[in-house]
Amino acid sequence: MVGAGQAGVQAALSLRHGGFDGAVTVIGDEPELPYQRPPLSKEFLADPGQQPLPLRAERFYDAHDIRLLRGERVVTLDRAAREVHLGSGGRLAFDHLVLALGARNRTLPVPGHDADGVLTLRTLRDAERLRDRLAGATSAVVVGGGFIGLEFASVARARGIPTLLVEAGERTMARAVSPAVSGFLTAGHRRAGVRILLGTTVRRLLARRGRVVGVETDDGRRHPADLVLVAVGAVPNVGLAAGAGLPTADGILVDACLRTPDPRVFAVGDCARYPSPAVGSPVRLESVQNAADHGRCVAETLLRGQPTPYRAVPWFWSDQGELRLQIAGVPTGAERAVLRGDPDAGAFSVFSFVAGRLVAVESVNRPADHLAARRLLADGRPLTPEQAADPSFDLRSHSRSRPEPGPPAVS
Ligand SMILES: Cc1cc2nc3c(=O)[nH]c(=O)nc-3n(C[C@H](O)[C@H](O)[C@H](O)COP(=O)(O)OP(=O)(O)OC[C@H]3O[C@@H](n4cnc5c(N)ncnc54)[C@H](O)[C@@H]3O)c2cc1C
């Protein structure tokens, strides 16, 4: 496995749990024991005493005979020789290779982007730097209203730091959630004291003696800040695959079994673009569930010696202050959305439909709806918009009932 994040480590672990007894090596370029990223924009930032959460304890790798190479970068993939070349000079041979390379943060191509105090958030080191800076910050600007930007804004505000969030789109999290959820979360952050400018871009970052002092937006206004978080999305790490002649297009392109055109090479997690039956088109998703389930799926293929199609229903969560958002399916592109619950009471779900078929459910502080939605989407059990919107309809029992038997097969 190249990449010691959620997907690479899960693939190794699932191979061992499935009884694979060949050599398993996980190569990661970060020096730390592989860790969980989600807390980095949440608990880890909020609490200076919080330690990083490892994916597995150090002894686990030894106990399962998984060779973990940390702080080691794979620089070349030689498919003909079935070898990877390491940054430290060595080579490693493989029968099968899993590319679990993750993604890296997009940069902000404006003057001043490299000033001291302009930070991004992806790795543990980024989070440590950000946490240190938060301790002394007097005003913060977040560029980008996606999940990471909003989670950070909520932590910064809770620590009493005046916080401005600048988002180029007309709503926050537009790529990931429905307009209803976007509007609800934006209003919640505003009530908590985060200033949010929509439809606004940053023209440049202002610095004095190399240190950031503010941002200038496209309307010419200047906003003070001694800490700027740039959270404008991520690009997949595809260079290793592209350099080896494998096809890429905003992700390493794989088939329904997560294989590249080279049957010995797979791609999983944030770096992979795959045809998703749940979405109906090729997607690249950035979530823990996607990465971990990809790892499991590839291990299954290797264990059985037969290609295993990837069919998991995507799900995701985000914690923003008091709000827990959980998403099952992919809500963008829905034709109809209905509401269940009461946004004014701070707990509701949005059920999204395409051609009358349920495709996604976003739940704010309604974990039972989320669990029911995952079961419904996984089984393909029908639910009408009217049932979804009816508070007296027992969603939980419906999601647990046996699917209706279909008509007898005609031979
Ligand atoms: C701050 C933050 C908060 C998040 N919060 C949530 C959340 O609340 N819920 C959720 O579902 N998801 C969340 N995510 C997304 C989730 O963490 C990712 O989708 C998931 O970690 C992806 O796993 P991965 O294994 O594909 O990639 P990664 O975890 O990024 O691992 C890839 C690893 O490969 C390494 N690598 C790349 N190239 C090479 C090379 N050539 N040689 C060796 N190593 C290499 C990278 O440095 C990296 O360590 C969050 C992400 C971040 C950054």
Q: What is the atom index within ligand 1 of the atom nearest the CA of 285?
A: 19
Asked if residue 216 lies in contact with residue 206, where contact means CB atoms within 8 angstroms, the answer is: yes
N-to-C CA span, the chain: 45
- 294, part of any domain: yes
State whether 93 and 240 are in the same domain: yes
Choosing from 204, 232, 260, the residue where a domain stops is 232
State whether 68 and 122 are in the same domain: no
**CATH code (residue 13):** 3.50.50.60
State whether 213 and 258 are in the same domain: no
Output the pLDDT for position 277. Answer: 86
Choosing from 232, 266, 283, the residue where a domain stops is 232
Q: Predicted confidence band at 411 (pLDDT cuts at 50, 70, 90)?
A: very low
272 phi and psi angles, rounded to 5 deg: -105, 135
The stretch 169-176 carries a mean pLDDT of: 94
- 408, part of any domain: no
Closest CA to 41 of 138, 155, 204: 155
State whether 239 and 223 are in the same domain: no
Buried b (16+ CB within 10 A) or exposed e, 232-262: bebebbbebbeebebebeebbbbebbbbbee
Query: What number of CA atoms fall less than 13 Å from residue 151's CA on the CB side?
Result: 22
State whether 125 and 193 are in the same domain: yes
Convert the pLDDT of each residue in 10-64 to its tens digit: 999 999 999 999 999 999 999 999 999 999 999 999 999 999 999 999 999 999 9
Q: How much distance in Å is there from the Cα of 103 to the middle of ligand 1?
A: 6
323 phi and psi angles, rounded to 5 deg: -100, 130
Output the pLDDT for position 403. Answer: 61
Q: What is the atom index within ligand 1 of the atom nearest the CA of 316?
A: 11
The stretch 291-301 carries a mean pLDDT of: 98
State whether 64 and 89 are in the same domain: yes
State whether 114 and 226 are in the same domain: yes
- 1, part of any domain: no
**Which residue has its alpha carbon closest to ligand 1 atom 30?**
102
CB-defined site of ligand 1, < 6 Å: 2-8, 27-30, 37-38, 40-41, 73-74, 100-102, 121-122, 148, 237, 240, 269-270, 286-289, 291, 316-318
Q: How much distance in Å is there from the Cα of 270 to the middle of ligand 1?
A: 7
Convert the pLDDT of each residue in 337-388 to its tens digit: 999 999 999 999 999 999 999 999 999 999 999 999 999 999 988 999 999 9
- 405, part of any domain: no
Buried b (16+ CB within 10 A) or exposed e, 394-408: ebeebbeeeeeeeee
**CATH code (residue 326):** 3.30.390.30
Q: What is the atom index within ligand 1 of the atom nearest the CA of 87?
A: 42
Closest CA to 329 of 310, 316, 347, 339: 316
Q: What is the atom index within ligand 1 of the atom nearest the CA of 234?
A: 53
Note down the domain range covering 387.
322-400
For the cut 80, the answer to whether the pLDDT of residue 126 exceeds it is yes
Our separate counts of H helices and E strands in the chain read: 11, 25
**Which residue has its alpha carbon closest to ligand 1 atom 31?**
5
- 316, part of any domain: no
State whether 82 and 197 are in the same domain: no
Output the pLDDT for position 397. Answer: 93
For the cut 90, the answer to whether the pLDDT of residue 175 exceeds it is no
| Mean of pLDDT over the chain | 95
State whether 156 and 16 are in the same domain: no
State whether 134 and 88 are in the same domain: no
As a whole number of angstroms, the distance between CA 190 and CA 249 comes to 37
Output the pLDDT for position 281. Answer: 86
- 258, part of any domain: yes
- 395, part of any domain: yes
Choosing from 275, 304, 333, the residue where a domain stops is 304
State whether 275 and 297 are in the same domain: yes
Q: How much distance in Å is there from the Cα of 355 to the middle of ligand 1?
A: 34
The stretch 249-278 carries a mean pLDDT of: 96
- 212, part of any domain: yes
State whether 37 and 132 are in the same domain: no
Domains in the chain, number: 3
